Amino acid sequence: MSTPAKAPSKKAASKNGASLHRVYSKHMVDGYERAASRAMLHAVGFAREDFKKSQIGIASTWSMVTPCNMHIDQLARQAEAGSNAAGGKAVIFGTITISDGISMGTEGMKYSLVSREVIADSIETVVGCEGFDGLVAIGGCDKNMPGCLIAMARLNRPSVFVYGGTILPGCITGVLAEKRLRKDRREQFAGKNLDIVSCFEAVGSYANHNMDDRELALVEEQAIPGAGSCGGMYTANTMASAIEALGMSLPNSSAQNAVSPAKAADARAAGGAVLDLIKAGIRPRDIMTKQAFENAITVVIALGGSTNAVLHLLAMAHAAGVDLKIDDFTRIGRKVPVLADLKPSGRYLMSELVGIGGQTPLMKMLLEEGLLHGDCLTVTGKTIAANLKRVKPYPKGQDIVRGFDNPIKKDSHLVVLYGNLAPEGAVAKISGKEGLSFSGKAIVFENEQDALTAILDGRVKKGHVIVIRHEGPVGGPGMREMLSPTSAVMGKGLGKDVALITDGRFSGGSHGFVVGHITPEAALGGPLAVVKNGDAITIDAVKHQLTLDIPKSDLDARLAKWKAPKPHYTRGVLAKYAKQVSTASKGAVTD
């Protein structure tokens, strides 16, 4: 972890006034000897009076790589305007983003989790080098959001996160349905909300001969209507919700449509809010406390969020110096119910939650039930409780978010498992619709692609436990998401009849009986490495156990014969990542 220059105390700030609002930038631009620095800044738009203002970095994850981020350049401009109007001098800079959805199921997906570290490093590098006094970071996809927060925690300079917003649903209209859907498909698709997971599951339907070329093409063309992050309670919306509950974004930043006046206003307000944080001396580690992370976990559970939240919150806590463990998810999960009926397991999209008031009414429900720490500080400069004081409840009659008397599930869907297959832990996503236990015979694959092929061509049968190994942080490397095989399982109609376990991870769009993050991973000699076809495996979400049902002596004998596989990459970013990365149970961090 980097050790940035210590920020002034609040007492010192009040004594010395505005100069200490520039604790970092003054070293870049003050004094005759910094004339060359000022000359370069004049060229990028600084006026002489700007050198006396707090400099605010605006980290933009804009790119045309993915619809999640294609609009973020405009939000960055809004944040810039907000900072400038509040008396600061904003400077926009960029960082990378990748697309999980496009690379899913390919070798390219190995770079996905790696990008979180690259993004965090790049933001820390720019802010540290340029001496920015504060930071607004705008993210819109799975890895750039935790990447932004990791950088904020490392830098510990006044910061606000802005979520790029959720996409609107796609839809096949009546006219298109009449022209291009068979009659028996119109009821399934016509007028129904579509999203990216609709496409992944359509692949399974096509392989099962339940869709033809024309129908598959129609779903493909209509599912993604424009800018914004994938529309269910998948990883992007999960992490945005967690970050808001953590206190690092403005109220309801997580629950706004990407293309909307509300989202533009959110970005502009964030630009001004960071100036208030500078004046008040409030920094990320004042906000990102253990109790704040507990709030984030609570909201993720109530929303039925992605298993990736476990990985990313552990990494963010590590950067903030907070002692968060995977067992904290179990402890909190025993008392927090799943309340939101959101995709992938539920019926509704994030845009529909936006339509009834967003996340803040849910947080108020949780606070009133005693499940949130209301005294946690946030980027508004106020506590969670103060932010929620005037929030109105959800409208009567809505059924997107249920009450505590009728939860989707009475405890968490995120279940941490141990046992002889996961001595250091694994993370299951158990909605309850699949049941709470599964026993079956292993069908083993050494990578994701081979598993997907077997599912699509019918080799995976009812009663199988699909084992996909050597996809962990080191073994992949990069811990690919298994959305393609889990969606193919659902599309083939096997969702309740097979399970899937892996040392890789899952997209927030995955559902079914799935267990990921198995630690130690196969590439490091974990028990997953020695599972054989036909072995009996039991997943028990009640006992929190993942068990290979063979005698201990047999397992020990298999492990004694195990030999480490050769790495897939010996040079480049993936090779460097494999040498540095920690286990999934510690957040797959690299510092």
Which CATH number goes with the domain that contains 484? 3.50.30.80
507 is catalytic: yes
Q: What is the pLDDT of residue 348?
A: 95
Are 323 and 212 members of one domain? Answer: no
Are 251 and 184 members of one domain? Answer: no
Are 364 and 429 members of one domain? Answer: no
Q: Is the dihedral of CA 431, 587, 532, 208 positive or negative?
A: positive
Query: In terms of residue numbers, what domain contains 206?
Result: 170-222
481 labelled binding-site residue:
yes
Let me know: does 512 contact 490? Beta carbons within 8 Å.
yes
Are 429 and 282 members of one domain? Answer: no
Q: Is residue 374 part of a domain?
A: yes
Q: Is 90 helix (H, G, I), strand (E, B) or coil?
A: strand
Q: Is residue 249 part of a domain?
A: yes
Are 66 and 77 members of one domain? Answer: yes
pLDDT tens digits, one per residue of 187-243: 667 677 888 888 888 888 888 888 889 888 988 898 999 999 999 999 999 999 999
Are 180 and 141 members of one domain? Answer: no
Are 373 and 304 members of one domain? Answer: yes
221 labelled binding-site residue:
no
Q: What is the pLDDT of residue 210?
A: 84
Tokens of 444: 């083993």
Are 128 and 203 members of one domain? Answer: no
Catalytic-role residue among 60, 229, 487, 507: 507
* Last residue in a domain, options 181, 200, 222: 222
Q: Is residue 511 part of a domain?
A: yes
Q: What is the pLDDT of residue 62?
A: 98
Letter string b/e over residues 220-235, b meaning 16 or more CB atoms within 10 A of that residue's CB = eebbbbebbbbbbbbb
Q: Is residue 467 part of a domain?
A: yes
142 labelled binding-site residue:
yes
H or E, element range at 557 = helix 552-561
- Compute CA 89 distance to the chain's CA centroid, rounded to the nearest angstrom: 30
- Count of the separate structural domains present in the chain: 3
* Last residue in a domain, options 198, 222, 246: 222
Let me know: does 7 contact 283? Beta carbons within 8 Å.
yes
Q: Is residue 252 part of a domain?
A: yes
Are 137 and 180 members of one domain? Answer: no
Are 345 and 252 members of one domain? Answer: yes
Q: Is the dihedral of CA 216, 220, 222, 224 positive or negative?
A: positive
Question: Which CATH number characterizes residue 146's domain?
Answer: 3.40.50.2300
CA distance 205 to 185: 12
143 labelled binding-site residue:
yes
552 labelled binding-site residue:
no
Strand 134-139 and strand 159-163: the pairing is parallel
The residues of the chain scoring below 70 in pLDDT are 1-19, 178, 184, 187-188, 190
Let me know: does 24 contact 157? Beta carbons within 8 Å.
yes
Q: Which letter does DSSP use for residue 377 in this model? A: B
Tokens of 493: 């109609």
Are 447 and 495 members of one domain? Answer: yes
Are 312 and 434 members of one domain? Answer: no
3-state helix/strand/coil string of 300-352 = HHHHCCCCHHHHHHHHHHHHHCCCCCHHHHHHHHCCCCECECECCCCCECHHH
Q: Is residue 383 part of a domain?
A: yes
User: How many Cα atoms within 13 Å fall on the side-chain side of residue 347?
Assistant: 9
Q: Is residue 262 part of a domain?
A: yes
Q: Is residue 396 part of a domain?
A: no
* Last residue in a domain, options 353, 388, 423: 388
User: How many Cα atoms within 13 Å fall on the side-chain side of residue 470?
Assistant: 17
